[in-house]
Structure 1
Amino acid sequence: MTVEVVSRARCFGGEQRVLRHHSRETGTEMRFAAFLPPQALGGAKVPVVWFLAGLTCTEENFTVKAGAQRVAAELGLLLVAPDTSPRGDGVPDDPDKAYDFGLGAGFYVDATQEPWKQNYRMRSYVERELPELVGAALPADLSRQGIMGHSMGGHGALTIALRNPGRFAAVSAFAPICSPLRCPWGEKALGGYLGPDRAAWRDYDATALIEDGARVADILVDQGTADGFLESQLKPELLEEACGKAGIPLTLRRQEGYDHSYFFIASFVEDHLRWHARRLGLA
């Protein structure tokens, strides 16, 4: 599998890269960002923390806005941020050009409905293909992985961790969509990509997965109280309820006055990286 380096830049003693490759899952060219800490440039294999971004985003948003590289360099974490959907000529998009479906809104699912199912295979891309590629192309220790995300990507991080018990030593999220089965964003996306059978949606809903027996060791979630999507789309109380019933330790921090933006993420990303580092045996 050929990986091309699109760009590279020194950063906090490490190196920030953007890479691209042809994806067997999506059938398209895909890009992802990878920050290699100084320890990795020195030849050591280091733990990986995946960051899944939200609606409308690419691999660039977290890379240039979150300010995560300084702490990742200190801790020795390789940060990988994939794109949020397939792109390119012939890849279908929402006919109304809505921001919450189609390009930039892959929802980390494997679509089963036409015309989406040929390209919109972000679950398999993130769960299988990209780890294989990163393990082969970068100094990544895949025996030590964490995963986190924001909004749609928070939904992705939670569901991927819950579906893959034992793979991730840590999981966290910023303002995640906690129950796509019970919010407009989720109902639109899952209905469009997977069809009307709501039973098929449960694999992509963190609260449903927990209700159905999936478990992780613990979860960290930060949620801004001034987030305009809090009540209608995100609904952290549903995750809180599900974790409480299942006995999953959930640290849910309601951050007073913070919104849904990358200013919010930048304010707390250090806490999340240190949370991951402790569980990955680095601190």
Structure 2
Amino acid sequence: MACLTAGVPQAQAQSFPARSVRIVIGVVPGGVIDTLARGVTAELSKNWNQSVVVENRVGAGDIIAGDAVAKSAPDGHTLLLTSSATFLVNQFMRSKLPYDPVKDLVPVVALTRTSDVLLATPKLGVSSVKELVALAKSKPGALNYGSFGIGSAAHLDAVAFASVAGIRITHIPYKGGAAVIAALLGGEIDFSFSGLTPSLGPVKQGLLKALAFGAAQRSPALPQASTFQEAGYNIETGSWFGVFGPAATPRAIVEKISADTSRVLATPAFRDRFVLGVGMEELNLQAGPFAELLRDSREKFVSQYGSLKIKLD
């Protein structure tokens, strides 16, 4: 009997997917995550000969999307695609989640990573991170920065930067990344952290200055922007994007989804269009290594932000 039951998960994986698969995301159509999700689903649909669709469950900072997946049938047919910033903020900065991010979701595959750019308005008169820090120290609390909401990646990046640099700055939250760029261009705020893709146009047109890039190495798209390490500040910015499933999903199904998605990411045409072509870095970590990344990310998040006691509910 034990031998017979041991083969059940493997048989389930071999027949997966048995019906349409949903990848749930908590953002509106058209953004970086939505575009990445639609690229992945298109390829998986072809490889599995089964419909794989994106479902936009927008609201409450991914909580609606996360709850829908956490409480779905644990058979691999409903998955969550989210960012590390959102996932970790919900775990550590919200006390009233309707699901447990640790117990109710399992990491399946890490897709990509994106690093943020530190942008400043030309009128601020600074051309480097050190000049920005010097100006902020000369006017404690006078300089303001924008983000797309309390607990967003841009907000947390700025908090980490202020802590490392020893400066006091004022936070002005907006409703989205586009609104932050508009506020910079309109002179409403002095600086902000932003994703690479929306930063490129204004920087190349000379409308904004790119002071630093938040990865370990400079971006080929913005070679003039130093890394924070080069500027003397030990921080990295941005998020990774990964896929999760309900916690009780059979391991064999998790591994099949992980391996099949990994093959999609490794395809040069996909990588050029949906990863490198939009300024992201390929991670492509299957379930085991992704679980290790998640553990490391949780520890780093608590180390950087735990003492701030930020609560969003």
* Structure (1/2) with the larger helix percentage: 2
Q: Which has the larger radius of gyration?
A: 2
TM-score (norm 2): 0.30
Return the structure number with greater relative CO, CA threshold 8 A, min gap 6: 2
